[in-house]
Structure 1
Amino acid sequence: MSSTPLPSVIVFDVNETLLDIETLAPLFARLFGDENILREWFAQLVLYSQAMTLSSLYTPFGELGVGALKMTADIHKITLTDQDINEFKQLMSEMPAHPDAMPALTKLRDAGFRLVTLTNSASSASPTPLEKAGLSAFFERSFSVETVEKFKPAPETYQMVAKALSVETSDLCLVACHLWDTIGAQAAGCQGAFLTRPHNAMLPAVNVPTPDVTASDLVTLSDQIIDKYQI
């Protein structure tokens, strides 16, 4: 093990990092005739969430998600019904955990790290998506960007977590499968652990922060975090 200053709190992104959005693929296949439109929709959702923050505007992530679905349907000349929208909302609230999530969280918890989540999604009544996925018991706190009304990767989102936990941003390590998220976290002073799930990869360009830890599955990523940071 190294003597690298530790982040004592591991902050997990939720959507796609812990919960599997690919379970929405059959709906997109039915609505659009192509399950890959799921990725187009998700890219639009991320783009416009960040555009709202850069424009000093805020709309809850779930509402943006529905709006992005309607926009994607308009682009592809697809007519959505109220039933389609309701099915989409239901599926979004019931995404299962990735198979590697529970064993990875168990490793980190047993190693003594504090675990929290930080999501662009708004908070919801119990049972929450994490409760439905069987993961909520691992986390001492679940944070939503709705508190600051800015979406990740705005620095205020990571700073909010540090302030609420009475730690410095350098005490946080963000785990995410979106490089834009680790970029934001590292720029705010956190450590960054990048999970290269399918449809996610490094961005080889000047001044893009290199994640402190990178792996293709959560269990390996957790092992690397444990090995890198003594606690």
Structure 2
Amino acid sequence: MNTLVFDVNETLLDLAHLDPLFEDVFGSSQVRKEWFSQVILDATVVTLTDTYADFATIGVSAFKLVAARREVEVSEEDFGRVVAGMRSLPPHPEVDVQLKRLYDKGFKLVTLTNSPPAMVAAQLDNAGISKYFQQQISVDAVKAFKPAAKVYDHAASELSEDPNQLWLIAAHNWDTSGAIAAGWNAAFIARPGCRISSLDAQPQIVGSSLVEVVDELIKLKES
């Protein structure tokens, strides 16, 4: 094992950074979770119906939908705040140190994200972690979102590696399940509110933080 492929949003970057925006617009930061769930649902719908729109567009559309459902008036300025907020998400506290551990151990680090290329480049730069990644892969190339099989197949092709040699690291059960179904290995980070269900393909590694996942990945490499 040498190549580790990371999801970005919520896995590496902290969505809680958006909480003040949702508190301001909706009166509750908890609405941020409802919004992100709607984003993932809408991404799945456009994939299944072959009506692709990029992740930023879906993020704004989901924001409008949540506002309509809650009968809250929102503005173009609010939509801009959503996109700007997604671009400037900070990393979770342990991320920088743990990525450096993997980098120093000789792992090839790659990102595979639902965000379009320009957005993920900005996200990684703004978070100060782009230096660790040798390659950035976006679903935009195949016009479908994770966990569609063709996303993981495309990534394996881009990396010129057999799927069974690749590891996906993510905090989303649908992402690790998609990777495993495509023949990859997977490590799951159980961030707050993120869990594996009994129906999911079971990842080879499960940790409560990136620290625990990195510990196990290094053990495997050195065994």
TM-score normalized by the length of structure 2: 0.96
1:149 corresponds to 2:149: no
How big is each residue's C-alpha offset from its partner over 1:164-192, in whole Å with a ceiling of 9 and x where there is no partner?
11111111100000010000000000001
Of the three residues 47, 52, 77, the one matched with 2:46 is 52
Question: What are the ranges of 5 or more consecutive residues in structure 2 without an aligned counterpart?
Answer: none
1:202 corresponds to 2:196: yes
Q: Quick one: higher RCO (CA 8 Å, sep 6+), 1 or 2?
A: 1
How big is each residue's C-alpha offset from its partner over 1:34-79, in whole Å with a ceiling of 9 and x where there is no partner?
1101000000100110111111220001000000000000000000
| Alignment correspondent of 2:76 | 82
Q: What CA RMSD, in Å, does the superposition of the two structures yield over aligned residues?
A: 1.4
1:215 corresponds to 2:207: yes
- Which letter does structure 2 place at the counterpart of 1:214? V
Of the three residues 19, 30, 46, the one matched with 1:25 is 19
- Which letter does structure 1 place at the counterpart of 2:79? I
| Alignment correspondent of 1:186 | 180
Q: 1:160 to 1:17 in 2, by over 3 A?
A: same
| Partner SS, residue 118 of structure 2 | coil
Q: 1:104-183 counterparts in 2 under 5 A?
A: 104-124=98-118, 128-183=122-177
| Alignment correspondent of 2:90 | 96
Report deviation, 1:229. 3.4
Q: How many residues align structurally?
A: 223
- Which letter does structure 2 place at the counterpart of 1:132? N
- Large movers: runs of 4+ above 3 Å: none
How big is each residue's C-alpha offset from its partner over 1:73-99, in whole Å with a ceiling of 9 and x where there is no partner?
000000001221122221111111111
CA contact (8 A) 2:87 2:120 kept: no
- Which letter does structure 2 place at the counterpart of 1:183? S
CA contact (8 A) 2:6 2:110 kept: yes
| Partner SS, residue 124 of structure 1 | helix
Higher helix fraction (1 or 2) = 2
| Partner SS, residue 229 of structure 1 | helix
- Which letter does structure 2 place at the counterpart of 1:228? L
Report the identity percentage.
38
| Alignment correspondent of 2:220 | 228
CA contact (8 A) 2:59 2:82 kept: no
| Partner SS, residue 14 of structure 1 | coil
Aligned counterparts of 1:126 and 1:59: Cα–Cα separation in 2: 16
Aligned counterparts of 2:66 and 2:91: Cα–Cα separation in 1: 26
TM-score normalized by the length of structure 1: 0.93
Question: What are the ranges of 5 or more consecutive residues in structure 1 without an aligned counterpart?
Answer: 1-5
Q: 1:26-41 counterparts in 2 under 5 A?
A: 26-41=20-35
| Alignment correspondent of 2:61 | 67
Report deviation, 1:126. 9.3
Report deviation, 1:106. 1.0
Report deviation, 1:228. 2.3
- Which letter does structure 1 place at the counterpart of 2:26? F
